[in-house]
Amino acid sequence: MTTTVTFESISPADFFYRNRSIAGFDNTMRALYTAVRELVENSLDACEDGGFLPTIDVKLKEVAPDWYNLRVEDNGIGVPRDHILPAFGQILYGSKYEHKQARGRFGLGGKMAFLFGQITTSEPLHVTSAPVGGDHVFEVLLRQDIEENKPELMKWERRKNRNDEHGCTLEFTLEGNWRTAKRYILDYIEQTALITPYANLTFTEPDGTVHKYKRTVKSLPAPPQSVNPHPKGMDIEQLSRVVEETKTRDMVTFLRTHFHRVGPKTAKAFLKTINMPFSQDPRGLKPNDLVKIARGFETFEKWLPPDARVLSPLGTKLLETGIHSTLNPEFVQVTQRPPNSYGGHPFIVECGLAYGGDVPPKESIIIYRFANRIPLIFDEYKDVAAKVIRAIPWSRYRIRPGMPIAAFVAVVSTKIPFKTAGKEFIADLTELEHDIRMGLMECARSLKGHLRQKERVQRERVRASVYEKYLPIIARDIAALAGKRKVPDTKALVESALTIKLEAEEEVEEELPVEEGLLEEAPPNVENPDDFEGEEDY
């Protein structure tokens, strides 16, 4: 008896069509949320890439039971004419494969949203693209050929760009569950406004309710720069690709040309450790040579850490502004940790704590998590930030259950260490844990001082109320005994005495030393870019 086995290959589009849960499209609730999220993030990237303050308008309209028309308009750089079809109709085609920080990485999320819309409603995608500096605006209607992973053009029109328009508008229909997705989408939009206070965001619900978040600052974070990969993060396949493309003729020049922060001294020291001649032509490397180099990359201890040029953290001022504009807290403290790295990938952690205002009191601290300025809404309990927050002894900082406190943890990196393909929670790496803990504890010490001062004021107010009750009676009787008609103003006297007492106690408090044992600083991996200025090997 013979068994017939059929072998075949499928396109990337067909693979993700069959396994759409990998990209977050496993059910209609998650699909609607993910579609909004992916398109908003693409729009933000398009605006920031052009240096434009983002203005993004998102509209969701129910066109049939559980069918929703999603329209997202931005003022970004637009998509050039020759790239419109593959950019929206070909899975894994995109502009984010450079080695630098970006919200998206694979050219997948937005196109998966369009693909999900096509397979659930059979409706095409409508694209309006006005490339920055272009003479024309393009109106395109297209579908995706799933088996061939290529776009199917249905309509192509163009008109003159008479008003220097720039940006992109995407509109399509997909199946969704707004009833269950609503709170996640609204949370996402609100938290996006918090982490991008330089953006105008508008979201219109299916019933016509409009949520507007106006920009509160008019400056963008410094953009990330594209650099070569760090040797520490290279594997054999990546190394072989670099070898195929190189035009260098010796190993020292090869290492200096293609890898991040490798100078002549470091290159020669590395080659000596793996017993490879400096004059070896990279084009003549054998497979076993590539294995030896890749293993050496991992074990060599003299690489300079990757610097922060490839990263674009929000910055403490913008983060504080975003927290104030969204939650209007009574107290805010934010901090940014020095650049650090894991496995050759640089990262920066920014932390904040907010107290009071519109922060609701809860038994546990409210957590806001961001990765490359993307709000993380799901799977909070599994995230490294939640793990660190659960481990911190908050009672040392006068923080108790039921207080209105929110914690903010924002991580930026060239490669966020997500633990699953859903990209909703960050893995608990030692380096990340350390920086998050140190950042939150630094903020907690400032909040402790605020809470202590608040308790002191409240305590002294109670004392002052006793004086305010009886002092007028005493003053009246003393004035009568002294034969005075005018009774002294005791209220001003009490306020003056209270102010003097609080100021005196505050001065004493400032002289007290910081508690020992609450802050153990810094793993050897932490890098300050200024430490390397003038480095001969750089």
Please say whether the beta carbons of 320 and 110 come within 8 A.
no
For the ranges 1-15, 56-70, 237-251, the lowest mean pLDDT is seen at 1-15
Measured between alpha carbons, how far is residue 508 from residues 56, 396, 457, 512 in Å?
50, 20, 15, 7
pLDDT beyond 80 at 69: yes
For the ranges 98-107, 129-138, 331-340, 436-445, the lowest mean pLDDT is seen at 98-107
pLDDT value, residue 25 = 85
- Please report which confidence band the pLDDT of residue 20 belongs to, taking 50, 70 and 90 as the band edges: confident
pLDDT value, residue 484 = 76
Nearest to 31 by CA among 137, 161, 180, 202: 180
**How far is the C-alpha of 216 from the C-alpha of 213, rounded, in Å?**
9
Distance of alpha carbon 418 from the chain centroid = 12
Please say whether the beta carbons of 350 and 333 come within 8 A.
no
Tell me the CATH number for domain 231-299: 1.10.8.50
Higher per-residue confidence, 375 vs 526: 375
Kindly report the pTM of this predicted structure: 0.83
**How far is the C-alpha of 537 from the C-alpha of 297, rounded, in Å?**
17
pLDDT beyond 50 at 528: no
Q: What is the pLDDT of residues 453-493, one digit of tens each?
A: 888 877 766 666 666 666 777 777 777 777 777 766 667 76
Pick the CATH number of 12-213 from 3.40.50.1470, 1.20.120.10, 3.30.565.10, 3.40.190.10: 3.30.565.10
**Helix, strand, or coil here: 334?**
strand
**The Cα angle at residue 259 between residues 433 and 224, in degrees rounded to 5:** 60
pLDDT value, residue 465 = 65
450 Cβ partners below 8 Å, 6+ apart? 331, 355
Higher per-residue confidence, 461 vs 392: 392
For the ranges 24-28, 152-156, 247-251, 454-458, the lowest mean pLDDT is seen at 454-458
The string over 73-102, giving b where at least 16 C-beta atoms fall within 10 Å of a residue's C-beta and e elsewhere, is bbbbbbbeeeebbbbbbbbebbeeeebebb
Higher per-residue confidence, 485 vs 340: 340
Q: What is the pLDDT of residues 271-313, one digit of tens each?
A: 999 999 999 999 999 999 999 999 999 999 899 888 788 899 9
Radius of gyration of the chain (CA): 29
Percent share of the chain, pLDDT over 70: 85
User: Of all helices (H) and strands (E), which one includes residue 348?
Assistant: strand 345-355
**How far is the C-alpha of 280 from the C-alpha of 262, rounded, in Å?**
17
Map tokens 């008003």 to a residue.
163
Q: What is the pLDDT of residues 153-198, one digit of tens each?
A: 999 999 999 889 999 999 999 999 999 999 999 999 999 999 999 9
Polymer length in residues for the chain: 538
Distance of alpha carbon 145 from the chain centroid = 33
Tell me the CATH number for domain 309-448: 3.30.230.10
Side-chain half-sphere exposure of 439, counting CA atoms within 13 A: 28
pLDDT value, residue 97 = 57
